[in-house]
Structure 1
Amino acid sequence: MMTATHFAFFDEGSKKEIRRATLKAVAIPGYQVPFASREMPIARGWGTGGLQLTLSLIGTQDTLKVIDQGADESVNAVSIKKLVQETTGVDLTEQTEAATLIQSRHRIPEVTLTEDQILVLQVPTPEPLRKVEAREYVTKRLHAEDEYSGAWLMLFEQIMKYGKTATGADHPVFVNHCYVMAPSPIPRFDNPKMHQSEALILLGAGREKKIYAIPPYTDVVSLAFEDYPFTVESFAGQHCHLCGAEDVFLDELIDEATGETYYQCNDTSYCMERLNSGERQEVVHNHG
């Protein structure tokens, strides 16, 4: 453990301020709580909001997992893990079930989270109305007045142009039947995992200086019209070419040698756990 810094990098005053904002966010599900975002030893836009939440909450008994778009070994994930581990000495893991604190960019793990876990999501743009209204004081008023016609209009325009909603990620959700919220750039596939989640979900935007939350067992419903219901990405008929998993979020890959398309689990630790535990199903080895 590094001795040149405070435990978990921040001084106690900074951690208390972030915790107070976090408590308010938990008390008002989906509400964006402003906070004094600190300077971090990583660039803004690379997860400073999520990292500040993690550093303010982590304790010596915690076990940390960090993923970036499903991968534990990406540069972003490795760098964040190194900073947290060197300033706290906590244990690191790639197993979702073993982690008490999970920080993620753009994905929710495939393994169902429990009430003993906290999921921290990194957020670039916390305001779901930003594409239709650039002024912060106006979006605050729109939230207060429950005026979300702009969000509905965005979806309507997509249907008129593409015949369906075309939000590849960050599809807006209603939280606790009150606030429309940006779920972070997770794929639509992950939106249903937020609904009635046993785990506390915290979302941090360092550049925008906002913290918001989904407490355990909270209703989270993706915005959709009755005649154009919300749908997730479909991988029907496909499976992971390594572990054979189905009904998970898959990456579409191309074999450079043959040009053939095949699929692989986006959640790399989930895939490896299946392989190591012998859950591998019968799969076609030629990627066909």
Structure 2
Amino acid sequence: MNHSYELPVDEVSYNFAFLDEFAKREIRRSILKAISIPGYQTPYASREMPMGRGFGTGGLQLTLSLLGAGDTLKVIDQGADDSVNAVNLRQFVELTCPGTSTTERAAEANIIQSRHRIPEDRLTANQILVLQVPTPDPLAIVEPSEARRKIMHGESDYASLLTKLYEDIVQFDEIAISNRYPTRLNGHYVIDSSPIPRFDVPKMHQSAALILLGAGRERKVYAVPPFTDAVPLAFEDVAFRTEAFLDHQGTRRHCDRCDSSTSYLDEIMHPDGSHHWQCSDTGYCNDRCARRDSAGSGAVRS
């Protein structure tokens, strides 16, 4: 990515990408350290942003620090391109980053900022995925002391976290974590995978794209470098499993719009009580519908 672009002084009254150059350099240095130590929670000086907490200020700071002239950005919120969060962040980038462009197609973007989802399209080596994270430390649910958690991470001591998973099995006959599933990188650090569903966790394993996870309130950034082993915590006799989306007959449901049977689905209830299933990733769903329409044939189930 090109970071040499200089905005003419008379064009706007603030710096390119809103953050000052010192802030962006500091964040990029933290990103490099996070990439060098997969899963390590690297501190950085999180800045105040002109938006409320919960709008992904941590992820946005990473994105703004990486954007340069000629880059293309896609912003999604729970898979949707048209949610309030996604639209506001995209407009903010368009206003403060002249020379960049935005898109709703994952294949066209070299930087993707996401909340709660990893795109259905397979990411490539020339792409960066930035995930918004509310709580970066998976040990926070079992150990309140941050000092103690740092020692546990350093010693790769995750016995208490495994005990929490075991308690789920005793109580529910399965691990009941639906999102933020703890995932071990390269056999050492266990990370909070951000509020992505379990369905998306396997996409981190050996991903060709760089995955960055930023928590603005906690002032931490950590990374899943390209082609890194990312294995969800589980047991030999109780394996990790993803959402199945099965109907009453045990058949895998498909999207009622594009007919995909491999994507993560959202259930939509209509006022008449009927149920509708649709791809959570709206860009992926739209692409499939467009290909179907241009081919002039019925939907092709994946």
Counterpart position of 2:261: 246
Counterpart position of 1:43: 52
Counterpart position of 1:85: 94
Q: Can you list the C-alpha shifts for 1:164-197, whole angstroms capped at 9, x where unaligned?
A: 0000101100001110110101000000000000
| TM-score (normalised: structure 2) | 0.91
Contact 1:235–1:247 (Cα < 8 Å) also in 2: no
For 2:178 and 2:13, how far apart are their aligned partners in 1? 43
For 2:291 and 2:163, how far apart are their aligned partners in 1? 47
Counterpart position of 2:3: none
1:281 aligns with 2:299: yes
Shift of 1:282: 6.8
Counterpart position of 2:81: 72
For 2:259 and 2:234, how far apart are their aligned partners in 1? 32
Counterpart position of 1:127: 137
Consecutive unaligned residues in structure 1, runs of 5 or more = 284-288
Q: Can you list the C-alpha shifts for 1:44-101, whole angstroms capped at 9, x where unaligned?
A: 2320110000000001110000000000011111111111111112111000000010
1:108 to 118, 121, 128: 118
Query: Any residues of structure 2 matched to 1:48-67 within 5 Å, and which?
Result: 48-67=57-76
For 1:200 and 1:24, how far apart are their aligned partners in 2? 13
SS in 1 for 2:211: strand
1:23 aligns with 2:32: yes
Shift of 1:262: 2.3
1:155 to 165, 173, 181: 165
Query: Any residues of structure 2 matched to 1:122-271 within 5 Å, and which?
Result: 122-236=132-246, 237-257=252-272, 259-271=273-285
SS in 2 for 1:231: coil
Q: 1:102 to 1:282 in 2, by over 3 A?
A: closer
Letter in 2 for 1:263: W
Contact 1:204–1:212 (Cα < 8 Å) also in 2: yes
Consecutive unaligned residues in structure 2, runs of 5 or more = 1-6, 247-251
| TM-score (normalised: structure 1) | 0.95
Contact 2:289–2:299 (Cα < 8 Å) also in 1: no
For 1:67 and 1:150, how far apart are their aligned partners in 2? 34
Q: 1:60 to 1:282 in 2, by over 3 A?
A: closer
Shift of 1:256: 1.5
Letter in 2 for 1:7: F
Contact 1:45–1:207 (Cα < 8 Å) also in 2: no
Shift of 1:5: 1.1
Give identity over the alignment, percent. Answer: 54
Contact 2:185–2:191 (Cα < 8 Å) also in 1: yes
Q: Can you list the C-alpha shifts for 1:124-163, whole angstroms capped at 9, x where unaligned?
A: 0000000111111110011011110121011111111100
For 2:275 and 2:28, how far apart are their aligned partners in 1? 46
Q: 1:282 to 1:119 in 2, by over 3 A?
A: closer
Contact 2:292–2:300 (Cα < 8 Å) also in 1: no
Counterpart position of 2:128: 118
For 1:3 and 1:109, how far apart are their aligned partners in 2? 33
For 1:262 and 1:91, how far apart are their aligned partners in 2? 33
Moved over 2 A (4+): none
For 1:245 and 1:235, how far apart are their aligned partners in 2? 12
SS in 1 for 2:125: coil
